[in-house]
Amino acid sequence: MHLVSLWTAAITAAVVFLAGSWERIFRMPHWFANPPQSFELIASQTKQSARFWIPLQLLFLASFITALVTNWSHEQVRPYLLMALVCFLLVTIPTATYFVKEIIAFSKMTADTPRTPELLKRSQRWIRWTTSRNILQFFSFILLVWALLNRHQ
């Protein structure tokens, strides 16, 4: 169970990182290409994204908690799991408190919403900071791989 839970958490973390990076590289530039007109793309993809991201995040959370619990007694693995947990929290807390709120606000804007300097700053800030989530997702994945490698020693 120890290794299975670590493998599951690592694979799920890899999917989260790859899907987040793909979305950041290929979808989000279109979302923010011409605010607020381009925000219609966000609105049209919100349900599809939620059906993908919510189960994936729940699967990652369940697999990570299982890995943490089943491997807690392994001192060589615990630091990697705790650092991965920190990365996960540094992604999850801002996502819940900032990113989701903002993306919903953007998705509700109509094409005739004024294109103000503040709106452009908000959208640029959102896209810039979402890149940091991808980086932290990558670190979570790497830390779980290191946990796996240290578990085999």
Tokens of 74: 């392994």
Measured CA to CA in angstroms, residue 90 lies from 50, 114, 127, 140 at distances of: 20, 33, 16, 10
Whole domain around residue 94: which residue ranges?
2-151
Number of domains in the chain: 1
pLDDT in tens, 76-107: 999 999 999 999 999 999 999 999 999 999 99
Residue 125's pLDDT is 96
Mean pLDDT, the chain, integer: 94
Cα(40)–Cα(65) distance, rounded to whole angstroms? 37
Which DSSP state fits 98? I
The closest of 124, 131, 96 to 21, measured between CA atoms, is 131
Statement: residue 110 has pLDDT above 80 = yes
Statement: residue 153 has pLDDT above 80 = no
Tokens of 8: 């599951």
Average pLDDT over residues 133-138: 97
Cα(8)–Cα(148) distance, rounded to whole angstroms? 11
Tokens of 73: 């007694």
Cβ(64)–Cβ(17) under 8 Å? no
Q: Residue 2 — pLDDT band, cuts 50, 70, 90?
A: confident
